Structure 1
Amino acid sequence: MPNFGFDGKKSPETLTLPMMSLREVVMFPRSIVPLFVGREASIKAIETAVADYGKQIFLVTQKSPEKEYPEADDLYELGVVSKILQMLRLPDGTIKVLFEGVARAVWDPKGSQFSYDESLADEFPQASINYIEDPLNTSVEGEALVRAVHESLEEFGKINKKVAPEAILAMSTIKDPGQLADQVMPHLKIDFARKQDVLEEMDSSKRLERAYELLLGEIEIVSIEKRVKGRVKDQMEKNQREYYLNEQSKAINKEMGREDDPQAEAKELEEQLQAKPMSEENRERVGKELKKLRTMQPSSAEYTVVRNYIDWVLDLPWDQVTNDSDVDIKEARSILDEDHFGLEKPKERILEYLAVQTLVDTMKGPILCFVGPPGVGKTSIAKSIARSMGREFLRISLGGVRDEAEIRGHRRTYVGAMPGKIIQSLKRVENNNPVICLDEVDKMSADFRGDPSAALLEVLDPEQNNAFNDHYLDLDYDLSKVFFITTANQLEGIPLPLQDRMEIIRLPGYLETEKVEIAKGYLLPKQIEQHGLKAENLKFSDNAMLDIVRYYTREAGVRNLEREIASVCRKSAMRIVEDDDRDKVIHISKQSLEKMLGVTKYSYGEREKEAQVGVCNGLAWTQLGGEMLLVEVALMPGQGKVEITGKLGDVMQESARAAISYIRARSHMLGLKPDFNTKVDVHIHVPDGATPKDGPSAGITLTTALISALLNIPVRHDLAMTGEITLRGRVLPIGGLREKLLAAHRGLIKTVLIPAENEKDLKEVPKDILKDLEIIPVMTMDEVIDKALDNGGETVLISQHNEPPLSNDLLKEEQRKPAHQ
């Protein structure tokens, strides 16, 4: 047994007394406590104490109140010897007993009879105990604590009416710290474990200090409780007043013969509002609108406006989400592969997101932006993402949107105001975490009605959209769980601040082999089903499908390819119906395509048959993918005029002027006289004049064509190039290399010159393309001239110290003229 106390001492005499365990009650010396006793063993212990032990009984508290028959380890080691002052038997078999605490005591389990037997009516615990003396404390610190407790007891008595004034008065006369602590503790509403800690404190000053601390806490709690009760009472009186007025309004409506009860409708709306899991701030603001609704006549126009607003708020899915935490990554991968061929980078990004989602409880929805030409599958892959995640899919077209209210909603200042497209979509789908595809985000424009792209800044910012404020709702709505996907044909149409909030994923054009696989695996089965055919009715050869790709379509995607396949299916369906043979098999070969689809629309292999002077193959990027551009230069006698045609944009015109300046600066190395430009007129032309052309990647092409014409040296016909030029002859990097190399491969080009800084981008180019092309990185224009001009292996550039002769026939004639001219 532990030795309790610092000053307290156990008595040398050991006594045996009946023992009764207490549930959630701690007895203190010099305190009187009434208890209801119902356990058989406890009743027997009380009866024995009254009969045989001079009404003396040992009371000890259970550590676990829920145990009906506690063992020795379930009881505290220190209890209180008490005297039974009064005992009253009740009709239900229990007894009410009034106990008075006498002194602390510890009991010894080894010397005690501690057993329960329900079959024996006279069994009850008997404890072997030792009294613990509690000496008087006359220290100055103890006296100061006593005074502080007396002052707090007066305040405690004023705010707690459950404590009798006589008890407060009796405690105010106690001077000993230990006795005062024992008197105060029974009046405090604290858990029994903390009371037991105070009971076991043998140092009287420390015991009173702990009791004082608990007393101050109780005073504060009672004060708060009193204030809360006052507020609740005021609210109840207010509610009763409102109830009275509502009942009075109902009676008036009934007397006037009104069948509809607006108050009942408002009460129903209020119940729905309370059930919505929104923030208290939002609930309070909507509650104000609801109060306004109560005072309006249903026939008024404003009533309709307020009622529509409340309906919108209540219909929104504030916390309804689809559970996607158990997404199977393998199943998601198979769904993406089933719906789309290729597109490895977008698929990998989606699978990464799903993997992280399975590891964390909550994750902010990413903002992905798919950028690529039409028909490459930007919108359809967004649908597949939703299907792989098990979420709802919504598509919002932003093409041509000019009004900011389309995104952020109209302000509630007129009849007919509506929320924006985002909030409308969430109401329609009835959950708060769908996949929303914002299509054609680069086609938005601004006018006097606002800038919708600026309104999207808040929607597509993961750090802000958790409190998106729609003008119509005027409430903070959480969009962070929404998976936003945007699509665009080109980044140039998207403002830079909006680009900064999105993760850009480029979807380039498909290779010919990829298009053939997509046509056989996806497009053909789809069109066969849509045209009522069977798979056995139509047999395509590989060469036929490849010829459709090469000679009937020219696109980065597969949209036109699907149209041509649909045309073949229609003509096949007509033949089957005409022959009245549903099992007819139609073979589509390379030779039968012209009958089905007509003459070829495009040529395959666009390069020149042989090398020509002043003609150079350039590579350009367009919205439809990569294209080959022929640059032609013609020289004529003249006075140095330069004409540029072919519907070139400002950037390409500047590149042409920079090319002429570069040649003039390097004329001594090219074998040209310094004033060669004053003797001839130069005409630069890019065929297909109806198509606008612009971009910073034609500089070296224009320069090579000009040098070829001036030196009368042909350019290799099996070579193409791309890159921008500086006035010093340095080749600058370009974009869209993958698409440009696809165009070169389609044009049967063998060698491609690219800027050296773009060599790292070759990792993104398919290996099937790289194995058929010789890629030569170049850093300067001198390297381009040596590789591009077909000069029989001789070096075009000469030493800068030689006097350059004129190589053009027209310029040679100028050289023969007399010097005085």
Structure 2
Amino acid sequence: MDTNRKMPLLPLRGIMVFPYMIIHLDVGREKSIAALEEAMLHDRIIMLSAQKDAAIEKPGQDDIFEIGTIAEVKQLLKLPGGTIRVLVEGLHRAKIVKHNELEKYYEVEIEEFNETVEPSLELEALTRAVVHEFEQWVKLSKKIPPETLVSVVIVEDAGRLCDLIASHLNLKLDDKQALLTATDVKVRLEKLYEILAREMEVLEIERKISGRVRKQMEKIQKDYYLREQMKAIQKELGDKDDKSAEIEEYQKKLAETKYPDDVVERINKELSRLEKMSSLSSETGVIRTYLDWLLSLPWDNATKEQLDIKEAEKILNKDHYGLEKVKERILEYLAIRKLSDSLKGPILCLVGPPGVGKTSLARSIARSLGRTFVRASLGGVRDEAEIRGHRRTYVGALPGRIIQGLKTAGSYNPVFLLDEIDKMNSDFKGDPSAALLEVLDPEQNNTFSDHYIELPFDLSKVLWVVTANAIHTIPRPLRDRMEIIHLPSYTEEEKLQIAQRYLVKKQIKENGLKSAQIQFSEGTLQKMIAGFTRESGVRELERIVAKVCRKVALQIVQKDKKTVKVTAQNLHAFLGRTKFIHSKAEKEAEVGVCTGMAWTEVGGDILPTEVTVIKGKGKLILTGQLGDVMQESAQAGLSYIRSRTQELNIDAEFYEKQDIHIHLPEGAIPKDGPSAGITMATAMVSALTDQKVRSDVAMTGEITLRGRVLPIGGLKEKVIAAYREGIKTIILPKENERDIEDIPKNIRRELEFVPVEHMDQVLACAMVKEHE
């Protein structure tokens, strides 16, 4: 290694100059130009070293590699724009030992490397291997002309040969620098051989890929050419293959409508299968059906919403009387939808007795929103495939009811009604309620997957409306995904309004009558409601109205009448005798008879409870098909009475001498529920003390062993049922006092509510006072 020499430095960006290499460089930086000018003023010698990062505009000492090449400036040409093109020739490797800070240009002190090569068999073998590998690389890459190869391989000096080969390779900067840094010729040859071997592998892979792509392109071109020839021949003959025409029709449908990318890919794949398959194969029918489904689903078709809140409110009020909470919820949805377009479709669960308008309300929601309406009844569904669809491997496979409903709707944002969700069952075929979890989850249903379609479908824009008669039969995970809205039983006043506004007009039209041909006088509809219906909804009322209309139609046709008047006096001529004359409630106070209140899936009802005390050994006899909960309530009530015999003036040993028989009439009807505790306890106290219970009092509440009264549910339905039966006073748990607000005002005004916390308060209110 020679002693230190000072010379200007030219930092290189993204390029490397090896010894014996002649190359043009474009120089534009001020310090680099100044370094060239300094070199031209003296011996034309300059130090060339590459930057570690080509992006740095003003490199420092640490940004430049230590090992570089001393070069001679052969030619210098100034270009427009201040750039200089310089021709340099690499001379020797050198190491920068010191950087001198100069203002105009970079100056460095360097040490030259003197290469000494001692001939050996190993060196000769390495040289031959490198030359052979280089020749193979030239043949495969075809980037260097043969004459250049000849001029390289005739070089005998191993170090020079190595540098010449490296200068012709298109390598990364790190690989070039590694070769330049290798001052030992043997090490340099080994690195070069390794790099050449790697480049050969890359070239071989490129050649294989190129060949494969070329073959594929040739096949595609050949297939296209043959198909075009076939089409031309068929056109000339006036004959067209049925399958080709069918495939063309599918392709036309695919082009006419916008579909998601994954759907287009699947359709094209199935069309390709259909094209290759024999027309006699049974699989072709399966593929055709599948394609028909994919092409007919509303992947990108939405109904434009009607975001007019006033108009929606007008439609809801016109179609339905009352139901304020439901109407308010729909208007809230519309208002938020108008402010934000990203709102996901809610899942509304309408819970209420039959005939209160759940299904018709869903239709009105669709009409008020301007969306299409589709309905799927889930009553009795016990197969999971009814929701998720069947696998296409089964014979006669079809999508589930959700996908079928969307196809019927023709849009991906309909109002979708799932009717009678509480009446689903599960068996060995799966649990359909579990399959509905994904459908009714706003966080999951944007990628709902049907087993038949096998592609994700976005259900997040669907407005789901679910109906049920009872909420307790809906599985809890499914219930958790829905917004529960209770539709209570109708009062007689509400039934009258519904009949006047909707039912009479509807049945007059359906029975071929005109409004002038039938007249209902004042009080007629009230008598029909009071004497012929005892339901929560209005279905039976509608049937009675329809029966009257049919009788009127018969009279008009037979007797040629122009108008028939239906009055309270002649109503029996149309409907016969009154169905409900006597109420279930007792008319007079009696011993051991108490009126309870019950909630059922079809609305509220009163529960007369009878208790009698007979000689025996302390047995508690329960009849009337009482469920486990009511039997336990009776036991709790009896234990309470036994613990308070002194306060109630009852013989302390009554349970050893007497049997107590509790009976609830209508024994064929099963009864159960946690709200008859205080009723049975009151009736037992009445029978044991021989005190009468007021006949105008009805009660509901559960009892504890200490006599506390626990809250219950369904108060509104229970109170309406009691009111229908002529009850005047309602005893209810203190904690249910807040539920009184849900009861219509006209009923609240006519009833007295007595909130109680303890059984003593119940007895004080229900028992007939001695002076009475």
TM range (shorter): 0.7 to 0.9
Indicate whether 1:614 and 2:592 are aligned.
Answer: yes
SS at match of 2:610: strand
Which residue matches 1:269? 250
Residue 334 of structure 1 is aligned with which of 310, 314, 318? 314
SS at match of 1:493: coil
Residue 649 of structure 2 is aligned with which of 650, 668, 671? 671
Q: Which amino acid aligns with 1:728?
A: R
Which residue matches 1:398? 378
Alignment partners' CA distance in 2, 1:151 and 1:605? 100
Q: Deviations over 1:784-805 (max 9, x none)?
A: 11111113379xxxxxxxxxxx
Residue 514 of structure 1 is aligned with which of 494, 518, 522? 494
Pair 173,528 (structure 1): closer, same or farther in 2 beyond 3 Å: farther
CA contact (8 A) 1:138 1:176 kept: no
Q: Which amino acid aligns with 1:617?
A: T
SS at match of 2:666: coil
Structure 1 position 277, deviation (Å): 3.9
Indicate whether 1:465 and 2:455 are aligned.
Answer: no
Structure 1 position 493, deviation (Å): 2.1
Residue 425 of structure 2 is aligned with which of 423, 427, 445? 445
Q: Deviations over 1:188-240 (max 9, x none)?
A: xxxxxxxxxxxxxxxx99xxxxxxxxxx9xxxxxxxxxxx9999989865642
Structure 1 position 327, deviation (Å): 1.9
Indicate whether 1:179 and 2:159 are aligned.
Answer: no
Q: Deviations over 1:418-458 (max 9, x none)?
A: 11111112222221111111111111111121111111111
Structure 1 position 462, deviation (Å): 1.1
Pairs aligned (count): 602
SS at match of 1:369: strand
Which residue matches 1:565? 545
Residue 291 of structure 1 is aligned with which of 238, 255, 272? 272
Pair 776,411 (structure 1): closer, same or farther in 2 beyond 3 Å: same
Structure 1 position 468, deviation (Å): 0.6
CA contact (8 A) 1:146 1:176 kept: no
SS at match of 2:524: helix
Alignment partners' CA distance in 2, 1:486 and 1:150? 66
Residue 533 of structure 1 is aligned with which of 513, 535, 545? 513
Structure 1 position 652, deviation (Å): 1.1
Map 1:62-73 onto structure 2 (within 5 A).
Answer: none
Alignment partners' CA distance in 1, 2:36 and 2:640? 99
SS at match of 1:415: coil
Residue 553 of structure 1 is aligned with which of 509, 529, 533? 533
Pair 300,141 (structure 1): closer, same or farther in 2 beyond 3 Å: farther
SS at match of 1:446: coil
Q: Which amino acid aligns with 2:478?
A: L
Pair 175,754 (structure 1): closer, same or farther in 2 beyond 3 Å: farther
Indicate whether 1:773 and 2:734 are aligned.
Answer: no
Q: Which amino acid aligns with 1:774?
A: E
Pair 578,658 (structure 1): closer, same or farther in 2 beyond 3 Å: same
CA contact (8 A) 1:137 1:177 kept: no
Alignment partners' CA distance in 1, 2:609 and 2:521? 37
Using the TM superposition, name which of 279-288 and 623-632 deviates more: 279-288
Q: Which amino acid aligns with 2:465?
A: I
Which residue matches 1:742? 720
CA contact (8 A) 1:552 1:600 kept: yes
CA contact (8 A) 2:33 2:84 kept: no
Residue 652 of structure 1 is aligned with which of 619, 630, 633? 630
Q: Deviations over 1:490-534 (max 9, x none)?
A: 112211111111111111111111111111111111111222222
Q: Which amino acid aligns with 1:387?
A: R
Alignment partners' CA distance in 1, 2:54 and 2:529? 98
Indicate whether 1:302 and 2:283 are aligned.
Answer: yes
CA contact (8 A) 2:78 2:85 kept: no
Map 1:555-634 onto structure 2 (within 5 A).
Answer: 555-581=535-561, 583-584=562-563, 586-603=564-581, 605-634=583-612
Pair 483,238 (structure 1): closer, same or farther in 2 beyond 3 Å: farther
Pair 141,767 (structure 1): closer, same or farther in 2 beyond 3 Å: farther
CA contact (8 A) 1:246 1:263 kept: no
Alignment partners' CA distance in 2, 1:492 and 1:181? 89
Structure 1 position 746, deviation (Å): 1.1
Q: Which amino acid aligns with 1:242?
A: D
Alignment partners' CA distance in 1, 2:53 and 2:674? 91
Indicate whether 1:321 and 2:302 are aligned.
Answer: yes
Pair 670,276 (structure 1): closer, same or farther in 2 beyond 3 Å: same
Map 1:97-108 onto structure 2 (within 5 A).
Answer: none
Which residue matches 2:369? 389
Alignment partners' CA distance in 2, 1:549 and 1:711? 40
Which residue matches 1:481? 461
Pair 299,728 (structure 1): closer, same or farther in 2 beyond 3 Å: same
Structure 1 position 281, deviation (Å): 3.5
CA contact (8 A) 1:146 1:177 kept: no
Q: Which amino acid aligns with 2:504?
A: L
SS at match of 2:484: strand
| Structure 1 unpaired stretches of 5+ | 1-133, 153-169, 184-203, 206-215, 217-227, 795-821
Q: Deviations over 1:126-169 (max 9, x none)?
A: xxxxxxxx9876578999999669999xxxxxxxxxxxxxxxxx
Alignment partners' CA distance in 2, 1:502 and 1:175? 80
Which residue matches 1:360? 340
CA contact (8 A) 2:372 2:409 kept: yes
Pair 140,333 (structure 1): closer, same or farther in 2 beyond 3 Å: farther
Alignment partners' CA distance in 2, 1:232 and 1:342? 71
Q: Deviations over 1:736-755 (max 9, x none)?
A: 10011111211211111101
Alignment partners' CA distance in 2, 1:182 and 1:783? 111
CA contact (8 A) 1:662 1:729 kept: yes
CA contact (8 A) 1:550 1:604 kept: no
Q: Which amino acid aligns with 2:636?
A: A
Structure 1 position 249, deviation (Å): 6.4
Q: TM-score, normalised by structure 1?
A: 0.68
Structure 1 position 624, deviation (Å): 2.2
Q: Which amino acid aligns with 1:553?
A: T
SS at match of 1:382: helix
Alignment partners' CA distance in 2, 1:650 and 1:753? 24
Alignment partners' CA distance in 2, 1:488 and 1:435? 17
SS at match of 2:646: helix
Alignment partners' CA distance in 1, 2:210 and 2:503? 72
Alignment partners' CA distance in 2, 1:257 and 1:271? 21
Q: Which amino acid aligns with 1:709?
A: A
Which residue matches 1:759? 737
Q: TM-score, normalised by structure 2?
A: 0.72
Q: Which amino acid aligns with 1:313?
A: L
Alignment partners' CA distance in 1, 2:600 and 2:316? 28
SS at match of 1:791: coil
SS at match of 2:631: helix
Alignment partners' CA distance in 2, 1:542 and 1:330? 33
Which residue matches 1:816? none
